[in-house]
Chains A and B, each alone.
Chain A
Amino acid sequence: MPLNENEFRPKIVAFCCNWCSYAGADLAGSSRLSYPADVKIIKVPCSCRVNPMFILRAFEKGADGVILCGCHPGDCHYSTGNYYARRRMTLLFSMLDYLGIEKGRTRVEWVSAAEGVKFSQTMNEFVEKIRSLGENVRLGDLRCKN
């Protein structure tokens, strides 16, 4: 897709756990399963490493969507990390929703190392959703917007 000046290019941060989802993203890559370039991945050891602070920071800095990917429940490399992540994110996302950041801008998805197709599909869906929601203006710190 050629770049178009007027087209809305969302900023999307994807946190992926090292053991499942990052490997799933690698598999999507080696299988050439494309998804929009708007998604940028940050590797974390486990989904439970993702501090709600990181997500708030992303929105503050102008992210339009944040997605957190981890191992399927029961498959966490550290046994229980994804359960903590699930609880934390449930709370955080409902608070963000209250603050005016629509539920569609945040998402938790379980992607295993074998699920390249799921990774790509998830990212395509998520970007589609963010594009339909448009630019995130609610939590952006105006001082960060030059």
Chain B
Amino acid sequence: MSHRDYSGKIKEISGVNPYKCMKCGKCSATCPSFNEMDIKPHQFVSYVLNGDIEALAESKSLWKCLSCFACVERCPRDVKPGKLIDAARQIVVRERGGDYLSADEIPELLDEELPQQLLVSAFRRYKR
């Protein structure tokens, strides 16, 4: 699969139209992990637009995003960069293969310290 296909795939999974972005930067303004990221949330959109998926797949940001979806909630244009990041992460995970999670395994993983959202998001990402 070429990188061009990946960028189509990201749009498909996320259901997001990156062309709507008006480069206001509210996503980066709102992001709690901004300082941890090498590619910032607002840049994510232009990487997808430019089809530079390789850089995204190798970025630190992919794993620093907390999936808090503050950027999704506050994006004035419904571009929702968080969904793009999530989709890119999903593609990388799918490529690796193997790492699946079934609903039965979840009770074992429960931990009081663990944010519930993490489990939900993990299950969504790793389910078979």
- Are chains A and B touching directly in their complex (CB below 8 angstroms)? no
Measured CB to CB, the residues of B under 8 A from A are: none
